[in-house]
Amino acid sequence: MKRTSTILQHYLQTKYFRKFKSREQLLTWQNQQVENFLKVILPKSPFYQHYYQGLDIQDWQNFPIIDKTKMMENFDQLNTVGISALAAFKIAFEAEKTRDFS
């Protein structure tokens, strides 16, 4: 429930209280948000620690992009919460079978 209220809080704050005077201000804010996200997530992903090694977070728009094949080949290292591809697929297939997505 806390997560839902946090998401709602950020949505409302952005929609109603965050006003940008120019496109440049908006782009600067978005860039800061992406950089903050990457600073938190990259250290948690063994794949990205290696894949983006030596690259500067501030240059994130030029990071190499991965495709679905590379993502699936490296699922276990990409995942930041320690769920293996096998476990994730098992849960997904069971949810599809039972139609219980909770």
pLDDT digits over 26-77, tens only? Answer: 999 999 999 999 999 899 999 998 988 899 999 999 999 999 999 999 999 9
Tally of domains within the chain: 1
Residues of the domain holding 93: 66-102
Q: Output the six-digit token pair for 3.
A: 């997560």
- Please compute the mean of the pLDDT values over residues 81-100 and round it to a whole number: 92
Q: How sure is the predictor about 102, in pLDDT bands with cuts at 50, 70 and 90?
A: confident
In a domain? residue 102: yes
The closest of 34, 27, 29 to 63, measured between CA atoms, is 34
Which of these, 85, 71, 77, lies nearest to 42 by C-alpha position?
77
pLDDT at 2 over 80: no
- Determine the pLDDT at residue 21: 85
pLDDT band at 88 (very low <50, low <70, confident <90, very high): very high
Structural domain contains residue 80: yes
Residue 46, domain member (yes or no)? no
> What local confidence, expressed as pLDDT, does residue 10 receive?
83
Q: For the chain, how big is the Rg over CA atoms in Å?
A: 18
pLDDT tens, position by position, 12-30: 887 787 788 899 999 999 9
Within a domain: residue 42?
no
Give domain status of residue 40, yes or no. Answer: no
Closest Cα to residue 24, out of 15, 32, 16, 34?
Answer: 32
Q: Is 95 part of any domain?
A: yes
The answer to whether residue 98 sits within a structural domain is: yes
In-domain check, residue 89: yes
Q: Is there a contact between 55 and 48 (Cβ–Cβ < 8 Å)?
A: no
